[in-house]
Amino acid sequence: MSQFEFKLKHRDATSAARRGVFLTPHGPVQTPGFMPVGTQGTVKGITIDQVSATGADMILGNTYHLALRPGHETVRKLGGLHAMCGWQGPILTDSGGFQIFSLKAINQITEQEATFRSHIDGTIIRLTPEHSIEIQEALGSDVAMVLDHVIALPASHDEVEDAMARSIRWAKRCLEASNRDDQAKFAIVQGGLDSELRTQCARELAAMDFNGYAVGGLSVGEAPSEMYRITAATCPHLPEHKPRYLMGVGRPVDLLESIARGIDLFDCVMPTRNGRNGLAFTDTGKLKLRNAIHREDTRPIDENCPCPACKHSRGYIRHLFVSGEMLGPILLSIHNLTYYQRLMTDARKAIESQRFTEFLLEKKQGWGEDQKSPPAT
């Protein structure tokens, strides 16, 4: 019997939003849910206990980076990724496929493998689907992503189709290489901005026995409307009782618009990266706390937020950044992660009460986002 199960609890009547729970050996993940990014075994700048206090159920680690430092065998000897970093909840690991895209100037793709030069020391790395799974099994994550072929857009139809077809073949190789029953495998739908290729890829992957499905290759520079269009075209062709994960997304509005189209899980560096640079997310839009307007502001960032940052004034937070104190980036990273988790909690409640579309429009109004494009059903 599988150690993984996705229980679909509610469907929103006015959109394709879903409320569920994904059961794993390290505990449940409430969906819709957001995973903080811990690329190298740490969510940058904050402790594991602080990550947990934000309300996160699941975090993400990266196969490519952990294979380079400290090395997957070292992680194995340290007891696996959970023991090494101290996170007791579920962990998802990316496969290294995104590095095929982001390191395109120093890689080469064949049917057999992707060949990289390490961004650290130039060492040649050969990553096959089988080796990606081997690394992730050594890391001991709860969810291992298949190795996929991500390409930069725009690209020709033939190039997009070639990468999509290779992603399907590589997904099958990943499934066949799997040896751990306690590690779920998620396939990744590719196909660029071509809805027909996305549909074909989704259907072929859905025919295989994966524990979940991701939509990849988006949020790489295309217009948000294009991402929403492709997500809406893809989700109906994915198994209803398996979790759906939109990789690398994103802005709060992108999360809610994608939930409205049937997505269950997200990850992105945006909350922590922006936090380290003095930007806070709120229901009334983004606050740039380095700005002089906040110098004597006694208000908290958000009076309804329970995070440590919101126990202080905006003026104090600004002072920390202007003074170069490391506490400023730490506090804003915690605040932003807390904001994302509160947003997901409220989204789940809105789905349960059959008012997700109303909730989405309320949030967009608060953020100053365009109200003219209601979510797709």
C-alpha closest to that of 307 among 331, 273, 343: 331
**Cα angle at 341 between 20 and 64, to 5 degrees?**
85
From the candidates 57, 94, 264, 302, give the one annotated as an active-site residue: 94
Q: Tell me how far apart the alpha carbons of residues 167 and 123 are, in angstroms, rounded to a whole number.
A: 25
C-alpha closest to that of 340 among 32, 16, 128, 12: 32
From the candidates 12, 148, 267, 302, give the one annotated as an active-site residue: 267
Q: Tell me how far apart the alpha carbons of residues 312 and 322 are, in angstroms, rounded to a whole number.
A: 16
194 catalytic residue (yes or no): no
Q: Tell me how far apart the alpha carbons of residues 307 and 335 are, in angstroms, rounded to a whole number.
A: 6
C-alpha closest to that of 36 among 60, 17, 16: 60
Q: Tell me how far apart the alpha carbons of residues 163 and 150 are, in angstroms, rounded to a whole number.
A: 7
94 catalytic residue (yes or no): yes
Q: How far is CA 6 from the centre of its chain?
A: 18
Which residues are paired to 62 by β-bridges? Answer: 94
Q: Tell me how far apart the alpha carbons of residues 27 and 209 are, in angstroms, rounded to a whole number.
A: 22
Non-local (6+) Cβ contacts of 287 within 8 A are: 279, 280, 294, 301, 314
Amino acid at 331: L
Concatenated DSSP letters of 211-224: SEEEE-S-SSSS-H
First to last CA, the chain: 34
Query: β-strands 184-189, 212-215: how paired?
Result: parallel
3-state secondary structure of 144: strand
Altogether, the residues listed in the chain come to a count of 377
Query: β-strands 33-36, 27-31: how paired?
Result: unpaired
Q: Give the side-chain half-sphere CA count within 13 A for 74.
A: 9
Query: β-strands 184-189, 143-145: how paired?
Result: parallel
Catalytic residue numbers read 94, 267
